[in-house]
Amino acid sequence: MKLGAFVIVLVAFSACSKHPVADKVVLGKIWTGNPEQQWAEGMAIVGDSIVEVGNAQEVEKWVGPETEKITTADGNLIVPGFIDCHVHFVEGGFALSSVQLRDARTPDEFIRRIAAYAQTVAKGTWITSGDWDHENWGGTLPTREWIDSITVDHPVWINRLDGHMSLANTAALKLAGVTNSVKDVDGGTIVRDKKGNVTGVFKDNAMTLINKAVPEPSDEQEDKALEAAMSYVAARGVTSVHNMSGYEDTFERAHGRGTLRTRIYSGMSLPQWKELAEKIKSKGRGDNWLRRGNLKDFVDGSLGSHTAAFFKPFDDTPRDSGFFVTKPSILYHNIKSADSAGLQVMVHAIGDKAIHELLDIFEQVEKENGERDRRFRIEHAQHIAPADIKRFAQLKVIPSMQPYHAIDDGRWAEKVIGHERSMTTYAFKSLIDANANLAFGSDWFVAPPTPLEGIYAAVTRRTLDEKNPEGWIPEQKITVEDALRSYTIRAAYASFEEAIKGSLERGKLADFVVLEKDITTLPTAEIRNVSVLMTYVGGKSIFKK
């Protein structure tokens, strides 16, 4: 792509022996993300690539009669297209059209919304997604009894917003063949009442008991969900996403039709490493739109579900310190094999013990497989033992984190892990100071795929309940420019694509966003209210406000 653009430029140059002409020029204040030229006044674009970044006069030279001029207003800021390093993209698209429970503040509201939504879908249709949060009403888990009478005609299987537990109603239990005598599942929890009866909440691996009864979506439904997801993130300035396993066929269908508007880095789950290795052998790693090559797995669960693995017990449930959902010996074996096949491994680890164990495995595999540019990633990396922070840079392991989770979990995390462990929770500043390549994302559907909210979260650490106006664990706040880098150039590095995107420089893809305000000078508390005015991918407009 890069080469193509320069060939066109050369041809244009030699044909008329004047200055070559751009298809588009963009004028305005630019934060380029390139440390050699941090600020610019404009850029010129030929095809899908940037051919010039510089001051207004340098860019004007590229203007010909056919050149489209994109002018921005005083006070706007142009930044590289945001890269979201952690999404469940198609699931996010599905969630957009399902019942919305994220901001249900009371059990009554929760029940009322499910009842209203059930009225809108055909009898017998499963109601899924939901993204409820029991912390909104003090932490009491919902039960199937809350919703059975209003959902008699619909099986319900709705997840907590972290995706680590879900609630089934009685109709869903029946279809899944789950009764009160169901046996416990390794790496999961079946919540039971005092009498031992199943309440309807299933955590982590126990969720498979119900998952297997939910009908697979059709290709057409998946295509629609992907379309919805692409539009939704374009309006938030996102031009690339790293998808956490699955839906490869859906992405390939869209790519084949030429309808991708978001660049996607896709992959499979780690145990499928052989399948992915073979696919790459026959089809290659893809192109600038759809790149394959990552493998995702889990060490533990989540903090909100009390299933993240810690060295010491939780403060609010002193006999419990979480658990591993995958045995370390199995993880080690799969990571070593996948790494030998040249694939990138990214593993979810949240509790300090899970992160420590995973760093040990990565270290071991590197020792055995030898030096290579492998870029192992730890997804979430939420609660790091202080001694492990420097190991990220030492072992060149990428912390792939989601700042929005910090201002969400920050409301109640100290109740669960106490103050001391909170000090290195979402340790953005410590990781940057220790030279780790901190990459940011959202974890959508779990959290909103809105980079400006993520940047706001990383720089203010103001929890969603507004109880920490100076920031929750303010020592870990970072600067706006550092947060921008984590959503752009460091995020591009996390998928081996820093040579083609992540900053606005000559030869890179013309993926950029126009923001309503200059977030580098704005009071940080206002960043979350800033609008995205325009989003361009490969020089093409995909969103305009």
Site of interaction with Zn ion (CB under 5 A) = 443
At 276, the amino acid letter reads L
Q: Cα angle vertex 240, ends 238, 246, to 5°?
A: 120
532 beta partners: 515
Q: Which is nearer to Zn ion, 443 or 505 (CB)?
A: 443
Pairing verdict, β 156-160 and 165-168: antiparallel
Of 366 and 443, the one with the shorter C-beta distance to Zn ion is 443
Residues counted in the chain: 545
Picking from 124, 102, 42, 130, the residue whose alpha carbon sits closest to that of residue 78 is 42
Amino acid at 190: I
**DSSP bridge pairs for 346:** 296, 377
Quote the least distance from Cβ 47 to Zn ion, whole Å.
Answer: 34
Find the shortest distance in angstroms from Cβ 204 to Zn ion.
Answer: 13
Q: How far is the CB of 294 from Zn ion (least distance, A)?
A: 13
Nearer to Zn ion, 204 or 443 (CB): 443
Q: What are phi and psi of 364, to 5 degrees?
A: -60, -45
Residue 445 or 512 having the CB closest to Zn ion: 445
Buried b (16+ CB within 10 A) or exposed e, 478-493: bebebbbbbbbbbbbb
* Residue 146 CB, nearest approach to Zn ion (Å): 26
Could you give the CA distance from residue 532 to residue 530 in angstroms, rounded to a whole number? Answer: 7
Min dist CB 443 to Zn ion, Å, is 4
Please tell me whether the peptide bond between 445 and the residue prior to it is cis, using omega within 30 degrees of 0.
yes
Closer of 91 and 357 to Zn ion (Cβ):
91
Neighbours of 289 (CB within 10 A): 17
Q: Which residues of 497-530 are buried (b: 16+ CB within 10 A; e: fewer)?
A: bbebbbbbbbebbbbbbbbbbbbbebebeebbeb
CA-CA-CA-CA torsion sign (62, 65, 66, 68)? positive
Q: How far is the CB of 245 from Zn ion (least distance, A)?
A: 9
Closest contact distance (angstroms) between CB of 129 and Zn ion is 14
Q: Indicate the DSSP class of residue 120.
A: T
The residue number whose beta carbon is nearest to Zn ion equals 443
Nearer to Zn ion, 296 or 477 (CB): 296
Strand partners, 201: 167
Q: Smallest gap, in angstroms, from Cβ of residue 398 to Zn ion? A: 15
Instruction: Quote the least distance from Cβ 445 to Zn ion, whole Å.
Output: 9
Toward Zn ion, which CB reaches closer, 425 or 524? Answer: 425
Of 352 and 443, CB closest to Zn ion = 443
| Of 23 and 248, CB closest to Zn ion | 248
**Among 499, 500, 498, 479, residue whose Cα is nearest residue 489:** 498
Output the CA angle 426-431-436, nearest 5 degrees.
130
Residue with smaller CB distance to Zn ion, 72 or 262: 262
State how far the Cα of 40 lies from the Cα of 57, in Å rounded to an integer: 11
Among 185, 159, 37, smallest CA distance to 92 is for 159
Rounded to a whole number of angstroms, the minimum distance from the CB of residue 502 to Zn ion is 21
Nearer to Zn ion, 24 or 88 (CB): 88
Q: How far is the CB of 447 from Zn ion (least distance, A)?
A: 9
